[in-house]
Chain A
């Protein structure tokens, strides 16, 4: 089938008890996109996926796939296929029959559907285990069978619910490369739910960060990482320091703001009224250990913890009014002048590395 654009318009999911799982989200996923829904558990990402798949009813709003509104269609009529978190392979059927299941439901005769299923298994390099039952397969093998079973329906979009969470770390990396390759090869959209920002950044063309039933940011991974929209995104993506304060003075190049019980910092860009709350983010690896060349782009921190990460050394610091401030120092640079816990060090960053955050929709 032709790849199709998916459009989610004002979709809300409310449960009978009044709990809102997803609140008025809108999102456009262009055809042939690898899209990752990213967020902590309970943020509504799985519910969103299940609503696209048709396994969850939609309380309000619409979902469009290509030219068709699929809001009220059953799963199999939507042109989507889903790969379930635990793979949900039928334990009583062998690999071929698992893959051929949807063809059997359509009434395709046995020889034809087994032949198609074997083709599909070749696509995921599993044809040699065609006669095995799911219980006799490893996690990675089950994952491939589940993939083949989903793809045999020739979907316009493939929906994957935490497809890598059951795999060990090394397999995870290999399988995610295969997923990306497969998506390129098939040219259809993959919508992939995950709580791992690393996975999302490695795979996605479009990262959708969700929190508490709302979308915090939907953008390409590089933009999400470099220009996180909100403090939540900055913290969830990691490797960012968030500083919160109130504007104290408007300057010609931006504003100055005070951290409660702490220092005063500069933030460039849009002028704001004095007294307004402001949040900025600075990437950990942009923080340098040096005396600030000018006021407002640095402070003094107390080393709390030092972690060796190989290429980098992660130094956790504390400063008045700021909870959790990390600096990533290149290995050689760190060991040229090592720090130990309790040291007071000057920290600085360039004015252009300051990124102003919007106030969170969910905060």
Chain B
């Protein structure tokens, strides 16, 4: 046995003269390189900078390279921060619930009740029409509608339903939530519509064949299969709402705060390191929420 092995080893052909240097082994890395550069320069580098600056010192006119935890201490130990986070989470929760409810049913209608593909696409495009204008214009357009002497109040007063204008309509939590729902519902509609369109219609027939009624089909087949879309929509809405500052500023009239607004205010008074520390904390919180969502729902099959 041993001889045979030795002999076999002996006749094993030597590798041919060394091949020219080839890029082939690195092909996949080279293919990934452009995206890696883009992400590195426009995502990782800025985040690294923010993390770095969050440890720096500052006074009223400049920022000073340093390594100190004071910015984090000030952020985390202040009750204003905690109150602001709670307020932001409150907005997020309410906006998430509303966009999910509205978004699911819009997507459901588009996917299951609109029969022709042409009509489906048309209605879907109509959903995106508001996105042709900027967020700010869409927000401002609520003001003449909701204001003290706005359309709703004057109509209700003229109809004699109310005597005095409703104050909660504008510059209130109500207005903030309304505007956010308006701005962000589409981010829920699109991914959910996408998952619903992928549900094999034979599954719904199979469920009907097994005696499921419309509600049972919804809870036992459609919603479980729409989970990845719901998760993706949730990630969109949660990250957008958690980071929002312009809607809160405009629609609350400065009466409510959000984390984003707090950061914007710090930047406006040139407290960059404090803003950076705050941003790092916010990033951490949002990433935790996203990680939580990904643990509950496996979205991989959707990507």
B205 within 8 A of A: yes
Chain A 68-102 against B: per-residue CB contact (8 Å), 1 yes, 0 no? 00000011110001101110111110000000011
B70 within 8 A of A: no
In the assembled complex, the CB of A289 is this many whole angstroms from the nearest CB of chain B, namely 51
A91-B216 CB under 8 A given contacts A55-B205, A76-B209:
no
In the complex, are the beta carbons of A74 and B208 less than 8 A apart? yes
In the complex, are the beta carbons of A84 and B208 less than 8 A apart? no
A-side interface residues, number (CB < 8 Å): 25
Query: In the assembled complex, which residues on chain B have CB atoms less than 8 Å from the CB atom of A105?
Result: 207, 210-213, 216, 220
Bound form: Cα–Cα A81–B202 in Å = 14
In the complex, are the beta carbons of B210 and A101 less than 8 A apart? yes
Interface residues of A in 80-132 (CB under 8 A from B): 81-82, 84-86, 88-92, 101-102, 104-106
Bound form: Cα–Cα A104–B210 in Å = 9
Q: Residues on B close to A: CB < 8 A? A: 200, 202-203, 205-213, 216, 220-221, 224-225
The closest CB in chain A to the CB of B203 belongs to: A88
Bound form: Cα–Cα A88–B210 in Å = 12
Query: In the assembled complex, which residues on chain A have CB atoms less than 8 Å from the CB atom of B208?
Result: 55, 74-76
Query: In the assembled complex, which residues on chain B have CB atoms less than 8 Å from the CB atom of A53?
Result: 209
Query: In the assembled complex, which residues on chain B have CB atoms less than 8 Å from the CB atom of A77?
Result: 211
In the complex, are the beta carbons of A106 and B211 less than 8 A apart? yes
In the complex, are the beta carbons of A153 and B211 less than 8 A apart? yes
The closest CB in chain B to the CB of A150 belongs to: B209
Bound form: Cα–Cα A84–B210 in Å = 12
Query: In the assembled complex, which residues on chain A have CB atoms less than 8 Å from the CB atom of B213?
Result: 105
Q: Which 10 A-B pairs have the closest CB atoms?
A: A76-B211, A102-B210, A88-B202, A88-B206, A92-B224, A105-B212, A105-B211, A75-B209, A84-B202, A101-B210
A355 within 8 A of B: no
A149 within 8 A of B: yes
Query: In the assembled complex, which residues on chain A have CB atoms less than 8 Å from the CB atom of B200?
Result: 86, 88
In the complex, are the beta carbons of A90 and B211 less than 8 A apart? no
In the complex, are the beta carbons of A84 and B211 less than 8 A apart? no
Query: In the assembled complex, which residues on chain B have CB atoms less than 8 Å from the CB atom of A101?
Result: 207, 210, 212, 220
Query: In the assembled complex, which residues on chain B have CB atoms less than 8 Å from the CB atom of A76?
Result: 208-212
In the complex, are the beta carbons of B210 and A153 less than 8 A apart? yes
In the complex, are the beta carbons of A55 and B209 less than 8 A apart? yes
In the complex, are the beta carbons of A84 and B225 less than 8 A apart? no
In the complex, are the beta carbons of B209 and A91 less than 8 A apart? no
In the assembled complex, the CB of B232 is this many whole angstroms from the nearest CB of chain A, namely 17
The closest CB in chain A to the CB of B201 belongs to: A88
The closest CB in chain B to the CB of A146 belongs to: B206
Enumerate 27 A-B pairs (CB-CB under 8 Å) in ascending A order. A53-B209, A55-B208, A55-B209, A75-B205, A76-B208, A76-B211, A76-B212, A81-B209, A82-B205, A82-B206, A82-B209, A86-B202, A88-B205, A88-B206, A89-B206, A90-B207, A90-B221, A92-B225, A101-B220, A102-B209, A102-B211, A105-B207, A105-B210, A105-B216, A105-B220, A149-B210, A153-B210
Query: In the assembled complex, which residues on chain A have CB atoms less than 8 Å from the CB atom of B212?
Result: 76, 101-102, 105
Bound form: Cα–Cα A104–B220 in Å = 10
Query: In the assembled complex, which residues on chain B have CB atoms less than 8 Å from the CB atom of A89?
Result: 206
Bound form: Cα–Cα A102–B220 in Å = 11
The closest CB in chain A to the CB of B213 belongs to: A105
Bound form: Cα–Cα A77–B202 in Å = 19
Query: In the assembled complex, which residues on chain A have CB atoms less than 8 Å from the CB atom of B210?
Result: 76, 101-102, 105, 149, 153
Which listed residue (B202, B207, B216, B224) contacts A85, Cβ 8 A? Answer: B202
Query: In the assembled complex, which residues on chain B have CB atoms less than 8 Å from the CB atom of A92?
Result: 224-225
In the assembled complex, the CB of A49 is this many whole angstroms from the nearest CB of chain B, namely 12
In the assembled complex, the CB of B40 is this many whole angstroms from the nearest CB of chain A, namely 36
Bound form: Cα–Cα A248–B18 in Å = 86
Bound form: Cα–Cα A149–B205 in Å = 13
In the assembled complex, the CB of B231 is this many whole angstroms from the nearest CB of chain A, namely 14
Query: In the assembled complex, which residues on chain A have CB atoms less than 8 Å from the CB atom of B211?
Result: 75-77, 102, 105-106, 153
In the complex, are the beta carbons of B220 and A91 less than 8 A apart? no
Bound form: Cα–Cα A101–B219 in Å = 13
The closest CB in chain A to the CB of B225 belongs to: A92
In the assembled complex, the CB of A75 is this many whole angstroms from the nearest CB of chain B, namely 5
Query: In the assembled complex, which residues on chain B have CB atoms less than 8 Å from the CB atom of A81?
Result: 209
In the assembled complex, the CB of A341 is this many whole angstroms from the nearest CB of chain B, namely 48
In the complex, are the beta carbons of B203 and A90 less than 8 A apart? yes
In the complex, are the beta carbons of B202 and A91 less than 8 A apart? no
Q: Given A84-B202, A90-B203, list of 15 further CB < 8 A pairs?
A: A55-B205, A55-B209, A77-B211, A81-B209, A82-B206, A82-B209, A86-B202, A88-B206, A89-B206, A90-B207, A101-B212, A102-B209, A105-B216, A106-B211, A153-B211
Query: In the assembled complex, which residues on chain A have CB atoms less than 8 Å from the CB atom of B209?
Result: 53-55, 75-76, 81-82, 102, 150
Bound form: Cα–Cα A81–B211 in Å = 10
In the assembled complex, the CB of B113 is this many whole angstroms from the nearest CB of chain A, namely 16
Chain A 55-76 against B: per-residue CB contact (8 Å), 1 yes, 0 no? 1000000000000000000111
Bound form: Cα–Cα A90–B211 in Å = 15
